[in-house]
């Protein structure tokens, strides 16, 4: 049997998209979350502009569905289908994630930040994080737990998605798969509307099917020559439509209009899906040019480490130097947040080069 293996190359533009997404996520946590409603006018404008930056996680989910879905679709007939997929996912996620848990465990043992919202509380027991079920616990209890570990809800979603995606693709004929994906995408906002709590709206895996399944659907369409011809034929129309959606989004973020919470992720999944397609098929548009900027490409490479450790670096810095919880009230506070962002970049780069890459290389010893 001919081995079906994905090409050993990275698409720089996809790393660039990932880099822009992680920058938006950090800006949301480092700016939007730290600015009070009674802040200065400049800070309030910054808060408005970054209002929807939390949806950048939908771009990560979209890329995850697209990349992993594409790999699994190409290697569906491989005799090592499940073994290779899961061993690579384990090597990619678990070592760095367990390193994070070790760091937080040490922080808690040293009583750093004790008595504050940054301190690990028993609202979410520590052992839950080892099961990748924290997203469900967060949704059921309507809490995010310790701030240092709050970003890990998305890893719970990803791990649960991995259990679904492999069997879904392996067992489903193409037409059945497309039908299931479309049902999941359509039902996602309905699931969010009926979510038991506000946090469940974001943290329950089935509430994010529009981005996750949307990525797989794009991977399917990307392998269809007729769709490629159709999209390229109407490229300018799709480009203008995407810019229109972004313009409307900007007006909503700085204006007094509101978007129903259960519809936000579907709205942005549509935008991010169009952006992904435009980057795949047209190197000349604005999104493709931005995605090729080296800074964004590097951020994309280090995005996993940045995502996991940026809250820890922020918390430790503020609790050690100004000895207070992170908040932007003055220019000095803003300067310290910028320093934290720079520190996060270099810490993440070090972790990627000296830790992540070794486990990734080990994972790629498993072949389809």
Give the pLDDT score at 41. 72
Is residue 58 assigned to a domain? yes
Give the pLDDT score at 99. 96
Is residue 148 assigned to a domain? yes
Give the pLDDT score at 119. 65
Is residue 217 assigned to a domain? yes
Give the pLDDT score at 236. 96
Give the pLDDT score at 81. 95
Alpha carbons 251 and 255: distance in angstroms, whole number: 6
One digit per residue, pLDDT tens: the chain, 368 residues?
333 334 445 689 999 999 999 999 999 999 888 887 666 777 778 888 888 999 999 999 999 999 999 999 999 999 999 999 999 999 999 999 999 999 999 988 888 777 776 666 778 899 999 999 999 999 999 998 888 899 999 999 999 999 999 999 999 999 999 999 999 999 999 999 999 999 999 999 999 999 999 999 999 999 999 999 999 999 999 999 999 999 999 989 887 678 899 999 999 999 999 999 999 999 999 999 999 999 999 999 999 999 999 999 998 999 888 888 888 888 888 899 999 999 999 999 999 999 999 999 999 999 99
Is residue 67 assigned to a domain? yes
Number of domains in the chain: 1
Where in the sequence is the domain holding 210, given as residue range(s)?
12-363
Give the pLDDT score at 255. 78
Is residue 108 assigned to a domain? yes
Is residue 303 assigned to a domain? yes
Is residue 4 assigned to a domain? no
Is residue 351 assigned to a domain? yes
Give the pLDDT score at 256. 67
Specify whether the CB–CB gap between 234 and 169 falls below 8 A: no
pTM above 0.85, yes or no: yes
């Amino acid at each position: 049997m001919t081995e079906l293996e994905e090409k050993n190359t990275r698409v720089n533009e996809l790393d660039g998209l990932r880099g822009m997404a992680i920058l938006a996520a950090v800006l949301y946590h480092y700016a939007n979350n730290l600015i009070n409603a009674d802040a200065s006018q400049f800070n309030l404008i910054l808060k408005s502009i970054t209002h929807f930056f939390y949806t950048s996680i939908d771009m990560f989910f979209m890329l995850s569905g697209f990349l992993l879905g594409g790999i699994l679709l190409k290697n569906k007939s491989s005799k090592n289908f499940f073994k290779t997929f899961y061993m690579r996912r384990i090597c990619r996620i678990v070592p760095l994630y367990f390193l994070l848990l070790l760091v937080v465990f040490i922080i808690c043992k040293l009583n750093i930040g004790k008595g504050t919202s940054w301190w690990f509380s028993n609202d979410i027991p520590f052992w839950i994080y080892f099961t990748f079920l924290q997203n469900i616990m967060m949704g059921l209890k309507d809490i995010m737990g310790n701030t240092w570990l709050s970003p890990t809800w998305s890893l719970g979603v990803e791990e649960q998605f991995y259990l679904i995606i492999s069997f879904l693709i392996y067992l489903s004929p193409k037409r059945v798969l497309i039908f299931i994906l479309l049902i999941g995408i359509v039902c996602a906002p309905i699931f969010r509307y009926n979510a038991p709590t506000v946090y469940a709206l974001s943290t329950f895996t089935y509430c994010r099917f529009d981005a996750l399944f949307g990525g797989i659907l794009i991977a399917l369409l990307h392998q269809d020559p007729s769709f490629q011809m159709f999209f390229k034929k109407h490229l300018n129309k799709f480009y203008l439509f995407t810019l229109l959606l972004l313009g409307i989004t900007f007006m909503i973020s700085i204006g007094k209009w509101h978007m129903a919470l259960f519809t936000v992720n579907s709205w942005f999944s549509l935008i991010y899906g169009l952006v992904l397609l435009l980057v795949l098929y047209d190197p000349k548009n604005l999104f493709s040019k931005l995605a090729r900027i080296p800074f964004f490409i590097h951020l994309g490479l280090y995005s996993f480490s940045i995502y996991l450790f940026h809250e820890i670096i922020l918390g430790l810095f503020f609790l050690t130097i100004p000895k207070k919880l992170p908040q932007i009230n003055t220019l000095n506070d803003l300067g310290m947040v910028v320093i934290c962002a720079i520190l996060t970049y270099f810490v993440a780069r070090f972790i990627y080069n000296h830790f992540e890459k070794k486990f990734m290389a080990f994972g790629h010893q498993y072949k389809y």
